[in-house]
Structure 1
Amino acid sequence: MKECPYGEKCYRKNPIHFGEFSHAHLDAIYKSGNGAGDYDIPAKYSNELIHTQLKLLEKLFPKEGAKREKEPNRSEPKPPATAASSSSGSFSGASSSSSASSTATTTSSFGASSQDSSRLAKKQKLAKNIKDYIPVVIEKGGMAKKLEQAAPYNMFLTAITDSKPTHSEPLSVTLQEILDESLGEIESSVQINFMVDIGWLLGHYYFAGILDKPLLVLYGDESPELLSIGKFKPQVTAIGVKMPTPFATSHTKMMLLAYSDGSMRVVISTANLYEDDWHNRTQGVWISPKLTALPEDADTGAGESQTGFKQDLMLYLVEYKISQLQPWIARIRKSDFSAINVFFVGSVPGGHRESTVRGHPWGHARLGALLAKHAAPINDRIPVVCQSSSIGSLGANVQAWIQQDFVNSLKKDSTPLGVLRQMPAFKMIYPSFGNVSGSHDGMLGGGCLPYGKNTNDKQPWLKDYLHQWKSNDRYRSRAMPHIKTYTRYNLEDQSVYWFVLTSANLSKAAWGCFNKSSNIQPCLRIANYEAGVLFLPRFVTGEDTFPLGNNRDGVPAFPLPYDVPLTPYAPDDKPFLMDYLQG
């Protein structure tokens, strides 16, 4: 069996991974224990995580069975070369075309030989049980109706494993539901994401019945498993997105789903493609309507939405400069996007200037341009509310970038030029230490919050603007937010003026920073790839604002992911820092 490429840093908790890869540090702890939860775990490891992983080993490789299998069982035939890569459940770690000897190594790490097929059979049996692999299982066939009932926003939060009410909440969704056949028969797909656990993802494809369908994966975070996946799974093409600078990130989380009837769908989310992000973390997902194929003789400009989503998405995908995306760009061009009621708001690496054709193309300047053109006039006393799972280096004070660049763009609306405006207040929702320690996963719940002490120490002013993570109305106060949102709303008249769901954290790298030393015009410098959607009432409901809290004249309330009014940090509160997990 191959050693896990992540070694002691392995964070995985799914049985398929532990059936495919060995872990020397876990093997040592497992061998020293009694197999009944009594283990001597070294202090350098996370006790909670290691216990969870050991429970998987107990389930996969019970102690008694492990002792028996040290002696080869000569009555059992050697497993066939294709056993580990059959649809029974080996999703990424073994080759369907490699030799029998390589397949035979897909067993436990406890000294099993090539004759040891019983563990392989045990792993395959486990993989066939969807409830052992996916913690929240919703009955198949109902997603089309759920999406229809989610109109006009089509915005969901991911189901939370340890929050049972979210399993039946109408606006909760699982990855299996996004792949559900009621939305269409998937013939091929694209997954653009930062972190991708390919074995976990292909497990979902297996249970959705699309494991053999072509899949293009564009990923940001380095993954040894993805480098060689094409050898083992020829239907999968995995491409690492090359970034121009060392600290830039390909951070977008997007799916393109093509259906056998010629239609397609776009999904934009905040979740990485690995188990933890779909377990006990609050994530946001926007799912487009079904986008049917245009007639062959349709005009080249046909099928565009009022928001220009189609053109903006194609321009965004072109920026990757990846040839394998060309057929998808062509498919988008030939699809009818007219039913989409949101704007695409993206970021791409580089320096960007305003053009006469598109105005500002990317980042916070693009968002500001859209608000200036389409947002109803907003009173300056209405704050800009930001919420993200990480915070960048923002400068020596609130004016340096937050007000001068970011809020200056997000404060814009369609008020005529020349009217004297004031800077609205800035509020930031970010989990406190208390939020995380009381989460479903305890301190490990902060694993999705990579805000560090070094950065926080340089911006002590930020604490005056911080607010707790609270989501009692959506049953997610204990599910730490990996979602990222930006909005302005008025509690007095219960209105939301606009809302952004995006992969972009509150940082210069994600949203851009103006280089004001330019002699010609300001240049917006962006480091990351990011993607999000902007909800503007005029295009979604035909009104100036969305209702907040309760339905208004038949229009559903906008589904905010957190509770309002916000709860400011108390004097003794402090933001959660990633360093707390390393101490």
Structure 2
Amino acid sequence: MASNLKKCPYGEQCYRKNPIHFGEFSHPHLDTIYANGLDSKTNKYVIPDELFMSAELIETQLKLLEKLFPKPSGSKSSKETTSTDGNSLKDGIRLDSGSPKPDSVKQSKSPMASTSSKCASPNSCKPSSTSVDDSSKFSKKPKITKNIKDYIPVVLEKGHAAEKIASAAPYNLFLTAITDSKRTHHEPLTITFQEILDESLGEIESSVQINFMVEIGWLLGHYYFAGIMGTPLLILYGDETPELLNISKTHPEVTAIKVNMPTPFATSHAKVMLFGYTDGDMRVVISTANLYEDDWHNRTQGIWISPKLTALPNDGDTTAGESPTNFRQDLMLYLVEYKIAKLQSWIARIRKTDFSAINVFFIGSTPGGFREGPRGYPWGHARVGELLQKHCAPMEARVPVICQSSSIGSLGPNIHTWIQHDFLSSLRKHSGPPGLSHFPPFKMIYPSFSNVKSSHDDLFGGGCLPYGSNTNDKQPWLRGHLFQWCSKQRHRSQAMPHIKTYTRMKLEDQSIYWFMLTSANLSKAAWGAFNKNVNISPCLRIMNYEAGVLFLPKFVIGEDTFPLGHVRDGIPSFPLPYDVPLTPYAPDDKPFLMDYLHQ
């Protein structure tokens, strides 16, 4: 084993089965078993009695150690050599281990705080197979064989991403591949991070990654294997990540900027990618996944990928090329809210790009207090409500609003406090007559304890579900509105959902009225809350940066509703990430709480 690796923060409880993790962290209990070798009688590793319950997992992890650190036979392993500065080199990727951080969630600092899972520390990543400057500490290093499958669990053949995205029209909505669900690997609507970088989509000259959590070694490893290592990369990140503070010293092409928030309880939680191509075109990607290994491993994530957007002529009218949904204008206004100078060139590029092929609405949240203006409310649930009132087909009040997210905020002592007073007041709107004051049924998909226990990673599968007992105990009414996570049709029932979606659908008619994919969890911090002072004009207060897309049938397929579960007049069924009808909690079910991981 490489002696310079940091110890895994999970210790004997480590559940990982990904080679990248074992290339970055040591596991003394595994090292001991591995060093002792195979039992001469059984030809198996001898696993101590106290670890017997994890024997199957440990055997899998030991197989990874065999592959990554083959035992020496008179010379150093071809899989590992050592650089002059003591850092290990695996297949040409440098792994400069920083201080480990537990792969647990960032606990909520206040009831308004939106939370997300937290991972082991990011690591710097750099190829050593080519001649580089002495200052990089990698000059005069021999070429080392590189195998992408040693770093990325699900690898699909290159060159086919463009046809996959073209075939996904008109929705362009994907779920990430699940490592332990092989049936997901080759589904038409499954995507991997490597495919997003695939050269068939265009030759990337520069890119922006806006995200909450960024594991820099994992991210740059993907860029390296995609052949775009060294292209300008701007990273805006939300979580405290010391490894990104000085990344430009080792990677001059990378500019990493921590997004400053107005309060300690706010979160820069959006997940947005911008890609600029050498031919002047660009592409926008909106996702629910953080940029680190675990989120692209055994968790269900959603990704919307725009068509390739062509550059407008240099002498063309910059007012041309807007989408029917005003996506370009809303995206530019959103990026302006970050108040980061490095985004200005990208905002200018967007302004000079034809967005007319985009058929969804951009839905954002930005920190601050907002009153209704000429364009209505610009962000949060109030913005969604205004779009629904203008463009959503009329429907009966009994059509439920179905919410699904990976965390739940403090919603108040009863359903009226915020869910009905604010959130459903917006999401129940449509273009028909207001009707009676009845609220639609509220249904919430959130994994139960049994869902997580049966996941690919057992209870550790709940590491992306930061809902705690402190919040849950204050809102017992929510239990009556909860439904299981079930995704048999998409082969993801055992892949816990970090995806966030909101929709209204009528199962009797097999119709969906609208659908939303977003980074925003069900919380006031993400969606906003109106002030309760009736003596002043309403002010919507939002804490987080969030980003999503709203699918309205009128703009996507030219009809009132999306077909559900069947092809209608040549229009494919909308690709829901979960099964319908929904599966209610059993009488003895309980929502999964993060506390279960610390017991």
TM-score (norm 1): 0.88
Task: State yes or no: 1:355 paired with 2:356.
Answer: no
Please give the per-residue CA displacement for 1:256-289, whole angstroms capped at 9, x wherever unaligned. Answer: 0111110000000111111111111111000001
Q: Which residue of 2 aligns with 1:461?
A: 477
Which segment is superposed worse, 376-385 or 131-140? Answer: 131-140
Instruction: Provide the C-alpha distance between the structure 2 equivalents of 1:82 and 1:187, rounded to a whole number of angstroms.
Output: 33
Gaps of 5+ in 1: 71-75, 105-116
2:447 matches 1:447: no
Question: Is the 2:170–2:557 contact (alpha carbons within 8 Å) kept by the matching residues of 1?
Answer: yes
Change in CA separation of 1:85 and 1:237 when aligned onto 2, cut-off 3 Å: farther
Farther-moved stretch of structure 1 (540-549 vs 513-522): 513-522
Distance 1:85 1:309, change over 3 A: farther
Q: Deviations 1:218-245 (Å, cap 9, x if unpaired)?
A: 1111122212221111111111111111
| 1:2-53 alpha-carbon deviations (Å, 9 max, x no partner) | 654985589876545654x554xx247524652555455988x999988766
- 1:113 aligns with none
TM-score (norm 2): 0.86
3-state SS of 1:168 partner: coil
Indicate yes or no: 2:392 matched with 1:375: yes
Amino acid of the structure 2 residue aligned with 1:560: L
Q: Residues 2 and 22 of structure 1 are in contact (CA less than 8 Å); yes or no, is this contact kept in structure 2? A: no
Pick one of 307, 318, 325 that aligns with 1:307: 325
Aligned: 1:337 with 2:355: yes
| Mapping of residues 417-428 of structure 1, within 5 Å | 419-428=435-444
Supply the distance in 2 between the matched residues of 1:77 and 1:404 (Cα, whole angstroms).
Answer: 61
Match of residue 434 from structure 1: 450
Change (3 A) 1:77 1:214: closer
1:390-401 to 2 correspondences below 5 Å:
390-401=407-418
Is it true that 1:61 corresponds to 2:61 in the alignment? no
**What is the rounded CA distance, in whole Å, between the counterparts of 2:72 and 2:389 in structure 1?**
69
Q: 1:294 to 1:82 in 2, by over 3 A?
A: farther
Structure 2 residue 282 is the aligned partner of structure 1 residue 274: no
What is the CA-CA distance between 1:529 and the residue it aligns to?
A: 0.6
Give the Cα–Cα distance (whole angstroms) in 1 for the partners of residues 177 and 61 of structure 2: 22
Q: Deviations over 1:129-187 (max 9, x none)?
A: 11221111111111111111110000011111111221121111111111111110111
| Letter of the 1:148 counterpart | A
Do structure 1's residue 506 and structure 2's residue 507 form an aligned pair? no
> 1: CA distance between counterparts of 2:82 and 2:55?
38
Aligned residue number for residue 499 of structure 2: 483
CA contact (8 A) 1:83 1:103 kept: no
Distance 1:525 1:11 in 2: 40
Output the amino acid matched with 2:441.
A
Contact 1:254 1:269 in 2 (8 A): yes
Q: Could you tell me how far apart the structure 2 residues matched to 1:77 and 1:373 are?
A: 62
Return the match for 2:93 from 86, 89, 93: 89
Query: What's the CA shift for 1:520?
Result: 2.8
Q: CA deviation at 1:301?
A: 1.4
CA distance in 1, matches of 2:337, 2:59: 44
Q: Secondary structure at the residue paired with 2:447?
A: coil
Task: Tell me the residue number matched to 2:583.
Answer: 567
Tell me, yes or no, if the aligned pair for 1:81 and 1:103 is still in contact at 8 Å. no
Q: After superposition, what is the alpha-carbon deviation per residue over 1:526-554, rounded to whole angstroms, capped at 9, x for unaligned?
A: 11110000000000001010101001011
Q: CA deviation at 1:88?
A: 2.6
Cα drift, residue 442 of structure 1: 1.1
Q: Aligned residue for 1:173?
A: 191
Which residue pairs with 2:177 in the alignment? 159
Letter in structure 2 aligned against 1:545: T
Amino acid at match of 1:141: G
The separation in 1 between residues aligned to 2:7 and 2:301, in whole angstroms, is 27
The range that moved more, 520-529 or 265-274, is 520-529
SS of corresponding position for 2:93: coil
SS in 2 for 1:231: helix
Q: Are 1:409 and 2:426 matched, yes or no?
A: yes
Does 2:550 align with 1:534?
A: yes
Distance 1:479 1:494 in 2: 26
For residues 48 and 226 of structure 1, the distance between their equivalents in structure 2, rounded to whole angstroms, comes to 36
SS at match of 1:271: coil
Please give the alpha-carbon distance, in whole angstroms, between the structure 2 residues aligned to 1:383 and 1:160.
30
Distance 1:141 1:572 in 2: 49
Provide closer, same or farther for how the CA distance between residues 136 and 86 of structure 1 changes in structure 2, counting only shifts above 3 A.
Answer: closer
Amino acid at match of 1:362: W
Whether the 8 Å CA contact 1:192–1:255 is kept in 2: the answer is yes
In structure 2, C-alpha distance between the alignment counterparts of 1:507 and 1:253, rounded to whole Å: 17
2 CA distance for matches of 1:236 and 1:258?
15
Contact 1:217 / 1:239 at 8 angstroms: preserved in 2? yes
- C-alpha offsets along residues 467-498 of structure 1, whole Å, 9 cap, x if unaligned? 01111111111111110000000111110000
> Residue 592 of structure 2 corresponds to which residue in structure 1?
576
Query: Of the candidates 275, 279, 288, which is equivalent to residue 306 of structure 2?
Result: 288
Letter in 1 for 2:442: F
In the alignment, structure 2 segments of 5+ residues that lack a partner are: 39-44, 96-122, 127-131
1:175-190 to 2 correspondence within 5 Å?
175-190=193-208
Determine the structure 1 residue equivalent to 2:120: none
Cα distance between partner residues in 2 of 1:179 and 1:329: 21
Pairing partner for 1:240 from 239, 254, 258: 258
Give the fraction of aligned pairs with identical amino acids, expressed as a percent: 68
How many residues in Structure 1 have an aligned counterpart in Structure 2? 553
Instruction: Tell me the equivalent position of 1:30.
Output: 31
CA contact (8 A) 2:4 2:87 kept: no
Summarize deviations over 1:309-363 as a string: whole Å, max 9, x none: 000000000111111111111110000000000000000111111112x101100
Alpha-carbon distance between aligned partners in 1 of 2:238 and 2:49, rounded to the nearest angstrom: 33
Secondary structure class of the residue paired with 2:185: helix
User: Partner of 2:502: helix, strand, or coil?
Assistant: strand
- The letter of the residue matching 2:553 is P
Distance across 2 between alignment mates of 1:50 and 1:312 = 49
Partner of 1:492: 508
- Cα deviation for residue 389 of structure 1 reads 0.6
Relative to 1, partners in 2 of residues 1:432 and 1:214: Cα closer, same or farther, differing over 3 Å? Answer: same
- Letter of the structure 2 residue corresponding to residue 384 of structure 1: V
Q: Does the CA contact (< 8 Å) of 2:247 and 2:256 recur in 1?
A: yes
> Which residue, out of 197, 213, 216, partners 1:195?
213
> Which amino acid in structure 1 is aligned with residue 580 of structure 2?
V
The match for 1:298 is 316
* Aligned-partner Cα distance in 1 for 2:57–2:367: 36
